[in-house]
Amino acid sequence: MIKLQKNVDCVLFSVPPILLLGPHLAPALLKAYAEDKGFRVVCYDPSPGIYSRLNSKEQEGWPYNNFEEVFKDKALLLEEVNLWLDEVFKYNPKIIGLSTHAWASKFFIEPISNEIRRRAPGVQIITGGPVALDLGIEWKQNGWVDHYVVGDGEEAFLELLSGGTNHPNIDGKIPVPISQEAFRALPEPDFSDSDVEYYKQKAKGNRLYLIGSRGCVFNCSFCNVPAMTQKYRYKDGVEFAREIMNAQERYNTNYIELADSITNAAPNEFRKMCHELIRLKEEKQLDPKIICFFRIRRAQITQEEDFALAAKAGICRLKIGVESGSFDVREHIGKKETNDDIFFSLEMCKKYGIKVNLLLIAGYINETEEMFQENLEFLREIKRRELDEAIEMVVVNELYISRRTPVFDFAKDTGVFDNIDPEDDLARDAWQTQLSNGEMLDPKIRRQRVHSLKKFVSENFVHLKNLLVFAADEKFSAETGS
């Protein structure tokens, strides 16, 4: 039972939809940081409540629902928003901080803001989260928020709580990252306002999200993480292992999922973390199951003993962005590993019982029909080598050209957006281009490729538990294999 505080400095409100496997990490980090400095902050996440009021079909679609459709009755939406705000206003906050994660949050910002303004015109509204870099300025211009924060939020949040607006990330354009020293000094996230038991009861895959690094050492063409985070910072591997174990000891969730962009970006810290986890598992008699993003490296960098170590440390699932079986596609993306490096990593995962989530992109900007066939051939080879036994989940994404990515600049420079407004996030999905061999790559071909991959994987990877497909024409679809 959460003890009700009155007159808090800020309620951090997780703007829906939030995936219901575990508590939202960003507010828990901001709360811990601000409370350390003497402020009173409460985190509030309405997603479990909304979910409980959806019908079973809508619940199946969570968090990828079409909210325009779910809340086509605007009175229902206002009623819902006011239910959430009834909770928020119990704390009588000076500031309400809207924490966003996914673009879908866009739908809720305006009604939440209007209702806050109506009910409590004196309350300041601020926002942050990955979406703020793209949409914050518009929300401020519309008067929905007083300030938005781009990039790392801790220091800017503190400034806003203290009544200032001077930090460069407040209403900023290019995020200024906190330093490596400041990142290492951040307290562990404070999940005390989250009902962790709720997730444990509701979801078999319940987990706690933790983060040991910010940013990424790579700069893959399609990815906006480098622009959002600017600089790679990481915690000491030993310290982070202790944070993981503290969380496991306290909450005992089924999984711990690391929110790091890539957990093995600094291979030595990764090894240090694994060694300390192994030691602590023994000492505390705990057995956390850890899920994380993993980058395939050349076999000289990541060797068999690294996989053995990871498995012993409790890493049970790696999310691997292989993207394509065509080397030409991967090279354009900036992934120089060979197919043999990928097969080696999969083989090691299979050998040491680590499950793999394989992430693929269809319709990449230079992908000719021949390259796409190479991709299918690569998947056949995985099957022939029986490496699909290690693959538990496949996610197929149609290439989405995000702003602030190298592929966005490439598309602009090569005339791909000639008939499209590149700043229009929806219209951009219609991009087409003539490839170097004269072939056209247009939305229809991209979607056919998405569907060919989906078909191949669902028919051939028989150990699959989950297949997620993100294509522009079907927003999201999921299939469960045998």
Q: For the chain, how big is the Rg over CA atoms in Å?
A: 23
Among 64, 218, 327, 343, binds ligand SF4 (CB under 6 A): 218
Task: Return the SS3 of 152.
Answer: coil
Instruction: Using alpha carbons, select from 16, 12, 10 the residue that is nearest to residue 29.
Output: 12
Can residue 94 be called a binding residue for ligand B12 (CB under 6 A)? no
Q: Is there binding between residue 127 and ligand B12 (CB under 6 A)?
A: yes
Single-letter amino acid, residue 3: K
Closest to ligand B12 by CB, 67 or 372: 67
* 226 binds, options ligand SF4, ligand B12, none, Cβ within 5 to 8 A by partner type: ligand SF4
Of residues 13-72, those binding ligand B12 (CB under 6 A): 17-19, 22, 24-26, 29-30, 63
How far is the C-alpha of 361 from the C-alpha of 222, rounded, in Å?
10
Residue among 15, 225, 290, 411 that touches ligand SF4 (CB under 6 A): 225
Among all chains, which residue has been given the structure tokens 């009155």? 6
219 lies in the site for ligand SF4, by CB under 6 A? yes
Q: Does 223 bind ligand B12 (CB under 6 A)?
A: yes
CB 156 within 8 A of CB 167: yes
Residue 17 binding result from ligand SF4, ligand B12, none, given CB thresholds of 5 to 8 Å by partner type: ligand B12
Does the footprint of ligand B12 cover residue 470 (CB under 6 A)?
Answer: yes
Nearer to ligand B12, 9 or 152 (CB): 152
Question: With binding defined as CB under 6 A, does residue 295 bind ligand SF4?
Answer: yes
**Three-state SS for 460?**
helix
| Planar angle of CA 145, 12, 60, nearest 5 degrees | 95
356 lies in the site for ligand B12, by CB under 6 A: no
The answer to whether the CB of 365 falls within 8 A of the CB of 441 is: yes
295 contact, one of ligand SF4, ligand B12, none, CB 5-8 Å limit per kind: ligand SF4
The C-alpha torsion from 323 through 327 and 330 to 331, rounded to 10°, is 180
Q: Which is nearer to ligand SF4, 158 or 299 (CB)?
A: 299
> Which of residues 248, 261, 264, 326 is near ligand B12 by CB under 6 A?
261
Residue 434: strand, helix, or coil: strand
Q: Measured from the CB of residue 111, what is the shortest distance to ligand SF4 in angstroms?
A: 32
Q: Is 80 in the site for ligand B12 (CB under 6 A)?
A: no
Expressed in angstroms, the distance from the first to the final Cα of the chain is: 40
Alpha helices in 252-368 (DSSP H): 267-284, 304-313, 327-333, 339-351
Tell me the number of residues near ligand B12 by CB under 6 A.
36
- Which residue in the set 16, 17, 321, 363 belongs to the binding site for ligand SF4 (CB under 6 A)? 321
Q: Where are the alpha helices (DSSP H) in 314-441?
A: 327-333, 339-351, 369-384, 406-413
Token duo for residue 320: 């691997």
Interface stretch with ligand B12, choices 152-160, 295-303, 437-445, 450-458 (CB under 6 A): 152-160
Distance CA 21, CA 18 (A): 9
Q: What residues line the site for ligand B12 (CB under 6 A)? A: 17-19, 22, 24-26, 29-30, 63, 97, 99, 101-104, 126-131, 149, 152-154, 156-157, 209, 211, 223-225, 259, 261, 470
